[in-house]
Amino acid sequence: MTTPEGKFKKDFCAKLKKMKCTCIQYQQSATTLAGFPDTIVLLPESLVVFLEFKKSKNAKYRPGQKEWGERLTNREFYHWFVYPENADKVLEEIKGLI
C-alpha cells in the first residue's frame, strides 16, 4: 500500500524522468548515514541533486536531515526538501539547471 508521501514522491520522480533525469532512491538502514537524503537525482551534464521528500511543509524532520541539508548546500551541492506546497517551484529550479 502506497502512502500519500510515497505517491507524491513517485509522481515527482516521474516528472523528473520526463526531463531526462534519473531518480535513485534507497531505503534507510543501519548502514546508511542518519538523515542523509534518500533520493539522489542525476541530471544531464553530470549534475547531481539531493532530495528529501516530506508529506507537507509542516512535517517533522528526522534526526540529521536539516544538518545534512546544510552540509550539502554549504558544499555547493543542490539540495531541496520537497513537499506538495513547493513541488512546482523545485521542479522549475531543477529545470533551470538542465
Please tell me which residue, 88 or 44, carries the higher pLDDT value. Answer: 88
Q: What is the pTM of this model?
A: 0.86
Question: In this predicted structure, what is the pLDDT of residue 27?
Answer: 77
Confidence of residue 51 (pLDDT cuts 50, 70, 90): very high
Number of helices (H), then strands (E), in the chain: 3, 4
In the CATH scheme, what is the code of domain 4-97? 3.40.1350.10
Strand partners, 40: 24, 50
- Span 54-58, mean pLDDT? 90
The HSE-up count of residue 27 (CA atoms within 13 Å, CB side) is 2
Q: Is the pLDDT of residue 1 over 70?
A: no
Question: In this predicted structure, what is the pLDDT of residue 84?
Answer: 93
Question: In this predicted structure, what is the pLDDT of residue 62?
Answer: 87
Confidence of residue 4 (pLDDT cuts 50, 70, 90): confident
